[in-house]
Amino acid sequence: MRLHTAPDHGVVGRVATAISEVGGIVTGIDVAESSHERLVVDVTCSAADAEHAERLQAAAAAQPGVTVHKTSDRVFLLHIGGKIEVSSKVPLRNRDDLSMAYTPGVGRVSLALAEHPEDVRRLTVKGNSVAVVTDGSAVLGLGNIGPGAALPVMEGKAALFKRFADIDAWPICLDSQDTDEIVRAVQLIAPGFGGINLEDIAAPRCFEIERRLRETLDIPVFHDDQHGTAIVVMAALTNALRVVGKDLGSVRAVVAGAGAAGTAIVTLMIAAGVTDVVVFDKEGCLSADDQTLPPAKAQLAAVTNPRRVRGDLRAALDGADVFIGVSAPGVLQAEWIADMAEQPVVFALANPDPEVDPAEAAQYAAVVASGRSDYPNQINNVLAFPGVFRGLLDARATDVTVDMMLRAAAAIAGVVTDDQLNPDFIIPSVFHPDVPTAVATAIREG
């Protein structure tokens, strides 16, 4: 906060005290200007969240002779000018460098690629580049906020690609939510990329977009909200079942949420050998004998719920071994977990507010995971997508398959050794150095 105050240096102490009294932590106070008329004081302090920050500002402003001139949030400061940039990999020091990197030398390379298009990945950035494509219709937990508001998220995704897999990724925010336009736009830009990462596109539109792009492009198309989530969930589930001594083929699972993530999770679980999955959504437990379901959910019901369970979430949980939530805050009451089988596994992944408070769930469940970083066992897509695309690009793959995704999940699970495995550690940290390499190797060499 930049404060304009009366020319009284004692005001500094009063401001610090006021901020501390409302729970703020003052980390720095600097007098930027001093004159007979006023002081300009910069106060740096830590707040718990945005609402708390406003209370700290109000506490400072309430002091006699103090005006809050301006406040700065370090999250916003980090975003000024964006989070990514383009830099040259080759020196451009003189005419000779320029003649090879650009004209006339580059013309020879272009002519060679016209004759041998299979070399484009080897001789251009295409071999190490991914387009991160969104329409801004389902951004994080914020909803349909549009392409401009989605750009900081896509920039962040690009930064993660670079940090964890040394991949050059580019945010592509499309100003359309028309399926045909999105498909055509991605088709038109595809020659410049080695892979397409679809991101934050609402269901069910995202299903058709992905299907059509996979059918028409010769590069892999990966919807991270679906498949990245499914891979990490599958890895965490594999290790959670190791903890409780159960196997995939014998467990009964409940998945809350039939959107993009839920559908992909169910698909991967079934491919891994889970035979009894009940999906719960707004319509209740999805069942093939329900003729009122919309098409996407009817397709999901057709391959799940073999016992034809109907009713609410509590009915689905009766005797289940596993709950996986990718739905909405508070849909699961902690005491319902007592109705599940012995040693139940609960993944409450709605973000930022999960289906059930993880601390409350831990009173009943043997293993609990969430999407949050302030509890053990964070399910985070960063564990999957950098390594997945590293492997796809290295292999010059044209598609990403269910078998690849299962291998990626097994690779993530395998990073946690038997000595490390326990109910509070079923999944490695996103900063574990072995994860991207293990996943890339599984994708490339499987």
Q: Is residue 252 a contact partner of residue 320, using CB atoms and an 8 Å limit?
A: yes
Name the residue range of residue 439's domain. 383-445
Q: Which residues contact 29 (CB under 8 A, 6 or more apart)?
A: 12, 15, 16, 41, 42, 43, 44
Q: Is residue 42 a contact partner of residue 2, using CB atoms and an 8 Å limit?
A: yes
Question: End-to-end CA distance of the chain, in Å?
Answer: 54
Residues 275 and 169 in one domain: no
E strand or H helix at 345, and its extent? Answer: strand 345-348
Q: Residue ranges of the chain with pLDDT lower than 70? A: 446
Among candidates 323, 329, 282, 285, which has minimal Cα distance to 304? 285
Amino acid occupying residue 293: L
Residues 23 and 154 in one domain: no
Q: Which residues contact 70 (CB under 8 A, 6 or more apart)?
A: 1, 2
Please state whether the peptide bond connecting residue 376 to the residue before it is cis, i.e. omega within 30 degrees of 0. no
What span, in angstroms and rounded, lies between the C-alpha atoms of 385 and 111? 34
Residues 308 and 183 in one domain: no
Residues 21 and 153 in one domain: no
Q: Which residues contact 99 (CB under 8 A, 6 or more apart)?
A: 105
Domain membership flag for residue 92: no
Predicted confidence at residue 107, as pLDDT, reads: 95
Predicted confidence at residue 431, as pLDDT, reads: 93
User: Hey, is 226 helix, strand or coil?
Assistant: helix
Domain membership flag for residue 112: yes
**pTM score above 0.75:** yes
Q: Which residues contact 5 (CB under 8 A, 6 or more apart)?
A: 11, 15, 38, 39, 40, 41, 65, 66, 67
What span, in angstroms and rounded, lies between the C-alpha atoms of 217 and 105? 30
What span, in angstroms and rounded, lies between the C-alpha atoms of 244 and 340? 14
What span, in angstroms and rounded, lies between the C-alpha atoms of 307 and 118? 51
Count of structural domains, the chain: 4
Residues 371 and 268 in one domain: yes
Other CB atoms within 10 A of residue 99 CB: 12
Catalytic positions, written as ranges? 102, 157
Instruction: Name residue, tokens 């601390």.
Output: 359
Predicted confidence at residue 326, as pLDDT, reads: 94
Residues 236 and 208 in one domain: no
CA triple 228-351-196, angle to 5 deg: 30
Domain end call among 347, 377, 407: 377
Q: Which residues pair with 284 in a beta bridge?
A: 281
Predicted confidence at residue 372, as pLDDT, reads: 86
Residues 171 and 271 in one domain: no
Domain membership flag for residue 93: no
Could you report the per-residue pLDDT of 381-392, keeping only the tens digit for each?
999 999 999 999
Domain membership flag for residue 189: yes
E strand or H helix at 302, and its extent? Answer: helix 295-302
What span, in angstroms and rounded, lies between the C-alpha atoms of 132 and 361? 35
What span, in angstroms and rounded, lies between the C-alpha atoms of 30 and 47? 18
Domain membership flag for residue 73: yes
What span, in angstroms and rounded, lies between the C-alpha atoms of 66 and 47? 20
What span, in angstroms and rounded, lies between the C-alpha atoms of 150 and 173? 7
Q: Say which CATH number the domain at 155 has.
A: 3.40.50.10380
Residues 211 and 264 in one domain: no
Residues 348 and 256 in one domain: yes
The pair of three-digit structure tokens given for residue 183, joined into one six-digit string: 């498909």
Kind of pairing between the strands at 168-173 and 129-134: parallel
Instruction: Name residue, tokens 């109910």.
Output: 423
What span, in angstroms and rounded, lies between the C-alpha atoms of 284 and 294? 13
Predicted confidence at residue 190, as pLDDT, reads: 97
The pair of three-digit structure tokens given for residue 366, joined into one six-digit string: 């043997």
Residues 138 and 190 in one domain: yes
Residues 260 and 372 in one domain: yes
Residues 362 and 249 in one domain: yes
Predicted confidence at residue 34, as pLDDT, reads: 87
